[in-house]
Amino acid sequence: MTRGHEITIEQGTQHVRVAHGGTILAETDRPLLLRETGCPVRYYIPAEDVRLDLLAPSDTHTVCPFKGTASYWSVPDGPKDLVWSYPDPKPDVAAIKGHLCFYEAEVSEASDVSDVS
């Protein structure tokens, strides 16, 4: 990482749901939390927990000097470039490979199972 710029990734237990127009596009209890200097926490969702059949690949690609080249998807007849992923992320963030991130996600804390008898 560049001096003064830090990215950390940790396994989360939050319940993350992404919906658009009442349709659930993704839902997981196993997000990766990516924290990056100067950015909000981003929830990267395993591809298996994303309704890829409801998304259309976009021609958009962006390059992040820290994560690599991102590919994007859009919701047909909806927001363009709503979701992105890094198909070949840089080694320092390799954990996000196979995960997708949405601009808007509903996040709730996982229930505490320690008090269940």
For residue 2, what pLDDT is reported?
57
pLDDT band at 114 (very low <50, low <70, confident <90, very high): very low
Q: Is residue 114 part of a domain?
A: no
15 pLDDT higher than 70? yes
Domain total of the chain: 1
Q: Is residue 53 part of a domain?
A: yes
Q: Is residue 1 part of a domain?
A: no
Give the tens place of pLDDT for each residue, 50-105: 999 999 999 999 999 999 999 999 998 888 999 999 999 999 999 999 999 998 87
Tokens representing residue 26 in the block:
């993704």
For residue 110, what pLDDT is reported?
52
Q: Is residue 65 part of a domain?
A: yes
Q: Is residue 33 part of a domain?
A: yes
117 pLDDT higher than 70? no
Please report where in the chains the tokens 């710029």 appear, as a residue. 5
Distances, alpha carbon 84 to alpha carbons 14, 59, 63, 117, in Å: 20, 12, 12, 41
